[in-house]
Amino acid sequence: MWSFWLQPLKYANVSSMLKVFIERLLVFANPFMLVDQTGETRHPKKVPEAESSFYRAKLVAIANGGLGQRGHFQVLSHWMQRLARNNLTEVIGEIYAPQGPLLANPPAELQPVIADYLRLLEKAGAEIVTDGSISAATQQLLDRDLIPEERYLQQINSYFGMLLSSVQHPYTNSW
């Protein structure tokens, strides 16, 4: 069984809605706590009949964000790995899209790029279902930027500049 965790990246961290949802799953955990082989305290497995529960599903993390680099997903990735470890399961896929706004409303010239990316997402989903993970080749393609970072920054800053051009504001486009 797989569990897909989809969320927008907010302040380089887990969204509050996802965090609340995860915390609500704690009632499915074994209430006892033991020290594991690495010296960390966590909940042990349940009896075998309960192991097929949603609580022990393998995890797939999918998130997008508006900033242009993958480094902004480091906290989320680490959090997902810890969540899996603490729940005696594993993360079998991580898909992070740092240029997320392009997915929602791509300009006409980028629509073929976005269509290719969406087909790649479908391929990744099929690999998870059939193989239990995303292949290295597919992951490598998913990890590419949709467009060069410099172009993305120019487009996103142009967009915000246009939105703010008719109002007084305290923002600047420089350090």
Q: Render pLDDT for 44-64 as a digit per residue (tens, 0 to 9).
A: 877 765 555 555 678 898 888
How confident is the model over 86-128, as pLDDT tens digits? Answer: 878 889 999 999 998 899 888 899 999 999 999 999 999 999 9
**Mean pLDDT, the chain, whole residue set:** 85
More confidently predicted of 34 and 142: 142
Q: List, as own/partner pairs, every contact residues 48-55 make where C-beta atoms lie below 8 angstroms and the sequence separation is at least 24, other chains included.
A: 52/1, 53/28, 54/1, 54/3, 54/25, 54/28, 55/25, 55/28, 55/29, 55/87
Listed in sequence order, the residues at least 6 apart from 120 whose beta carbon sits closer than 8 Å to its beta carbon are 138, 141, 142
Contact 5, 59 (CB under 8 A): yes
Bridge partner list, 8 = 64
Q: Which whole number is the average pLDDT over 64-90?
A: 88
Q: Which whole number is the average pLDDT over 21-29?
A: 79
Residue 116 confidence (pLDDT): 96
pTM: 0.81
